[in-house]
Amino acid sequence: MGAQSAGPLVVGVDSSTQSTKTLVVDAATGAVVARGHAPHTVSGGAAKETDPAQWWRALGEALRQCGDAARQASALSVGGQQHGLVALDAAGEPVRPAILWNDVRPAPQSERLIEELGGAQAWADRVGSVPGPAFTIAKWAWLRANDPAAAAATAAVRLPHDYLTQRLTGEGVTDRGDASGTGWWASATESYDAEILAHVGLSPDALPRVASPGEAAGTVHTDDLPLPHGALVAAGTGDNMAAALGLGLRPGRPVLSLGTSGTVYAVSTHRPTDPTGTVAGFADARGDWLPLACTLNCTLAVDRIAALLGRDREAVEPGGSATLLPFLDGERTPNLPAASGLLHGLRHDTTAGQVLQAAYDGAVFALLRALDQVLDADAAPEAPLLLIGGGARGAAWRETVRRLSGRPVVVPEAQELVALGAAAQAAGLLLGEDPAAVARRWGTARGATYGARERDEATLERLAKTLADGEGLLRG
């Protein structure tokens, strides 16, 4: 339990790849009154899948951990992992496990879709993004090719957060932020693209309604969860859009998130259209845009290297000539879905701590290369990086980002920013305010500031050369 409440209570939910987190927050002050956490599992191997019923059970468990505070909430919102394909039958039940964002099996379907509908530039102009294997449309194409019986039984397609919102309210509703990661919502028109849907054999009637920013999805109609019947439910959004709300981001402020995946993004007033596919042209949850680049291999990959070396994740050592590209599960940025890790430059005197530092360097290098393309005219060149996610609490991650970026770094004190952003969306709905302004009033971006360091150009150049020279190997 946290602080006593001075205003109405709202619930923010973060349904992520591996767990569900809930925060009960005072809408007036941003004080966290209660919190809960429950895990869910992802299948191993090439398939990255989860039974959506796990998300619902985890939501119930996390809310029960919040006690009476959850039962007193006036509004709630769900932030969820992006891109996942939840295929439902006519009764609203899953026809198979959900295919998650980090499942790269749809790489062949991604390539075919790009070619069949005019190439990368045409996709960027129309949809805002070039649909890589992570995108929902590629997963749907994979399902039709590899599990046609499940595709034929599908009456509705939802994203993970949509699935939970629908079970809460009985309504099929999504938001522009999460919809922009499907590949069939066109940023140019801010609507579903009928031609693209026809091309992949999906009816618009199978998709949820896209709510406007600030519009409710409905009210709580289920008695399965410890929530007040009739409480307002916001439209929710994708996890990255929710984190942007949780930080109260203004245009041009760069964010680097270190979690299971690594992401870099910034709110923009300009609609992004990157034909290279590095930057996804997402919408945000408010009416602006959220150009974003994502890497598959971040904290889990570096932790795996630490485990292989038998070292604590903080036990890094400077120096040496080793470079390591920790693409242990394929990679999204750069687009190398069949890649494996690449270690180069070992010497007789290379230490285990230097190899571990090289893993950190490789992961941060991929993110910073993408950040250069994410930032646009809204961005201040020397603006501090907001460093968030589980890795932001680690000194090795923080110092690697400082050394390779040459920027000041701010680590916000607020934690669970996706759930906090969902709570801000719920509070904004309840109070009739801009949710980002609500988060700024709560002071969520305040935190420790670390000054700029001289940028380590030698390491960046060595990594760039390793990536270029090893591209043939990395393509698998």
Residues annotated as catalytic are 239
Q: Identify which of 415, 21, 432 has the alpha carbon closest to the alpha carbon of residue 246.
A: 415
Give the integer Cα–Cα distance in Å for 121 and 275.
Answer: 5
Give the integer Cα–Cα distance in Å for 73 and 456.
Answer: 49
Q: Identify which of 444, 411, 25, 409 has the alpha carbon closest to the alpha carbon of residue 243.
A: 444
Which amino acid, residue 424? A
Tokens of 215: 């519009």
Burial class (CB in 10 A: 0-12, 13-18, 19+), 345: middle
Give the integer Cα–Cα distance in Å for 370 and 265.
Answer: 9
Give the integer Cα–Cα distance in Å for 199 and 143.
Answer: 14
> What are the backbone angles phi and psi of residue 103, rounded to the nearest 5°?
-85, 115
Burial class (CB in 10 A: 0-12, 13-18, 19+), 28: middle
DSSP state of 384: P
Q: What contacts 234, CB < 8 A, 6 or more positions away?
A: 75, 76, 77, 216, 217, 422, 425, 426, 428, 429
Give the integer Cα–Cα distance in Å for 300 and 134.
Answer: 18
Q: Identify which of 38, 54, 167, 62 has the alpha carbon closest to the alpha carbon of residue 100.
A: 54
Contact 291, 374 (CB under 8 A): yes
DSSP for 163-200, please give it. HHHHHHHS--EEEHHHHTTSSSEETTTTEE-HHHHHHT
Residue 164: left (phi > 0), alpha (psi -120 to 50), or beta?
alpha
